[in-house]
Structure 1
């Protein structure tokens, strides 16, 4: 059996790995199971924040990379394992981005540090904060 958890709990507007939550590590510790890092790249072209969903679009390459498992044990440092998971996910995402086929210059779905027009992580954080503030005002 496998349970999939998106540890960021959201879609990153910058297409880089955001701060991740520690729930995946805590679940693994509680059940004595490994955490297997998986990176998806290309899916942001079909469904992401601020763009129309294109779930029926065809011939969009998708890259899926699977990393080495982490084996967090009960009593071990949750924060350290979470940081290790962040590093591994970042490495996988970076590899997927750099090896992805068909990347024209200046595309919206490519991160800024690779020549795309996606917001930088700092710009994305400001956008997320503004969105959260607007949501809070509605409540």
Structure 2
């Protein structure tokens, strides 16, 4: 009779559990998006005269309900994802001419921030490509989020000049209406977990408009929604807020950006799952995926077209080059 070695007993495949989580959460997200879209259509029909006349009403009726539906992804409807605030804002805090700056680890980050800020109709700086998605694009357009469009530059992809100007103009309009704005100053999700260098654009905007700066730190979102993976995980996202402040007289854009970055990094070090080997300050700008593709053209063993078609192979080589 053949005996079974206990050490050879296979553990349950966590991948199956991840597939289940992914199916559940993605279904929930789709339902929330469709519900928001139906609500927008009903609101458009019922309140058309007011919608056409009042911009503030448009921002409210198409913004707040959409943000509320999106916040449900972190509600009791989703038992797999949790949020825990480590450092809270003061009781009865109300944003005033506020711009929130946060680190960026995952596609989940906007949903995480929105879970606490939907009642203020906070506006996010979004990739312009999201506005081209079916249904989701129409919702973002009606909610009047702030798009950033990219075009090909010398070193890869870069923000189009006219897009940057339009984004700043729209941000200024929201500032005048006392609507808070959320920005991920790293410009892209961190592939290594390090806090990347900050881009100066919206720090200059904040300085010129004497805006209140609200530092925000996120942690763990990249474990729930991993970069370059379609499978989601169960887990907790940690959130902390720094003390809101305004630029001091004579402060430069670089000083404002560095102060905000250091505050966010200090908040990250207070998280229970902080890892000093991973959670570090980057000392140079990270290369975008497109920039690495540009570099790969010089490597004969990785043909350009081959790299684009074989993402797994690309990602392996990508990690070796950054």
State whether TM-score is above 0.5. Answer: yes
Q: Structure 1 length normalisation: TM-score?
A: 0.66
| Maintained 8 Å contact 2:197/2:282 | no
* Residue in structure 2 matched with residue 42 of structure 1 by the alignment: 220
Displacement of 1:41 after TM fit?
Answer: 0.9
Structure 1 stretches lacking a partner, 5+ long? 101-109
Which ranges of structure 2 fall in alignment gaps of 5 or more residues? 1-178, 298-303, 305-322
Of residues 102, 113, 116, the one that matches 2:277 is: 113
Q: For the Cα contact (< 8 Å) 1:7–1:24, is it kept in 2?
A: yes
- Alignment correspondent of 1:103: none
- Going from structure 1 to structure 2, the CA distance change for 1:33 and 1:49 (only over 3 Å counts) comes to same
Higher Cα radius of gyration = 2
CA distance in 1, matches of 2:257, 2:201: 9
Q: Return the structure number with greater strand share.
A: 2
Q: Is the 8 A contact 1:30 1:74 kept in 2?
A: no
Kindly indicate whether the alpha-carbon contact (under 8 Å) linking 1:42 and 1:61 is maintained by their aligned counterparts in 2. yes
Contact 1:16 / 1:93 at 8 angstroms: preserved in 2? Answer: no
For 1:81, which of 246, 256, 259 is the aligned residue? 256
In structure 2, relative to structure 1, the CA distance for the partners of 1:112 and 1:52 (3 Å cut) is farther
Using a 3 Å threshold, how does the CA distance of structure 1 residues 49 and 131 change in structure 2: closer, same or farther? farther
Alignment partner, residue 67 of structure 1: 242
Larger relative contact order (Cα-Cα within 8 Å, sequence gap ≥ 6): 1
Report what 1:94 is aligned to: 269
Q: Is the partner of 2:222 in helix, strand or coil?
A: helix
Pair 77,44 (structure 1): closer, same or farther in 2 beyond 3 Å: same
The TM-score with structure 2 as length reference comes to 0.31
The structure in which a higher percent of residues are helix is 2
Q: CA distance change for structure 1 residues 6 and 112 in 2, over 3 Å: closer, same or farther? A: same
Number of paired residues? 117
Deviation at 1:52, TM superposition (A): 3.0
Quick one: structure 1 residues 111 and 13, their matched pair in 2 at CA, closer, same or farther if it must change by over 3 Å?
farther
- Structure 1: 4+ residue segments shifted above 6 A: none
Q: Specify which of 293, 306, 312 is matched with residue 134 of structure 1.
A: 293
